[in-house]
Amino acid sequence: MTGHTGGMADPIKRLDAAVARLAAETTGRQRTGTTHGDCDDVVGTVATDDAIGFDPRPLLRALDEAGAVVVVMGQIAGILHGSTELTGDLDLLWDGRAEQRAALAMAFAAVDASLVDDDDKPVACDEAAFALAKVQFATDCASGDCCTPALPWGELDVATFAQRARVVTTPEGWCVRYLRRNDLITMRRAVGRPKDLRRAAEMEALPPA
């Protein structure tokens, strides 16, 4: 069962503030032709073009309103927990059930998303795309990865992570689901890149939720 924080909780205020701060920091930045797939293991996607105009909220709203149960992981989840580091991509996790594919296709189509598979080959934004273990997406406001437990996650039980995700309701009434702090830390330490280890340490130093 997921944990629901209800109301306008601090996680949404943190996300709103992060989006505003990123907009201010990237105003006037010259594009270099880089995407979230080109980021390095230290700075991360905040240094890529995908950070310019980045705002995950329209897609997250479309997903919830379409009835898709999708969980935020990666640094947006970190920001929801209180991380101060900015990011330029959105990492999503869902359970991969066939019953959810239509809702995901509807939500991504609602924000005019372009999809590619894990080999960067374009795929139509339809139910068949979400039969894949992972798709990469790009919209006017956010780019990133949408993954399922079918990927090789090693010893990580990401299906359980998703099942026990936290839920927060925005002032407008739509919900955001995101990994619990301990699960996010576990995932970061398993990946082990410099930015992951740095962000895991930051998470561990935050006050209890």
14-45 pLDDT tens trace: 999 999 999 999 999 999 998 888 888 998 99
- If 0-12 CB within 10 Å is exposed, 13-18 middle and 19+ buried, where does residue 54 land? buried
- CA 68 to CA 76: how far, in whole Å? 18
For residue 29, what is the DSSP state? P
State pTM to two decimals: 0.93
Tokens of 190: 């398993």
> Cα-flanking dihedrals φ and ψ of residue 97, to 5°?
-70, 140
Residue 158 reports pLDDT greater than 80:
yes
Per-residue pLDDT, 161: 98
Give the number of other CB atoms < 10 A from CB of residue 152. 6
Q: At CA 192, angle to CA 34 and CA 37, rounded to 5?
A: 15
Per-residue pLDDT, 5: 45
Q: At CA 29, angle to CA 26 and CA 32, rounded to 5?
A: 120
Per-residue pLDDT, 37: 82
Residue 86 reports pLDDT greater than 50:
yes
Per-residue pLDDT, 40: 85
Under 8 Å between Cβ of 175 and 168: yes
- Average model confidence (pLDDT) across the chain: 93
Under 8 Å between Cβ of 49 and 31: yes
Per-residue pLDDT, 208: 81
Per-residue pLDDT, 4: 47
- CA 22 to CA 55: how far, in whole Å? 9
- CA 82 to CA 184: how far, in whole Å? 12
- Per-residue model confidence as pLDDT tens digits over 141-154: 999 999 999 999 99
Name residue 35's amino acid: T
- CA 97 to CA 141: how far, in whole Å? 27
Three-state DSSP at 190 gives helix
Per-residue pLDDT, 9: 54
For residues 102-120, one letter each, b for 16 or more C-beta atoms within 10 angstroms of the residue's C-beta and e for the rest, the string is ebbbbbbebbebebeeeee
Measured in Å, how far apart are the chain's first and last C-alpha atoms?
18
Q: Which band of pLDDT confidence, cut at 50, 70 and 90, is reported for residue 204?
A: very high
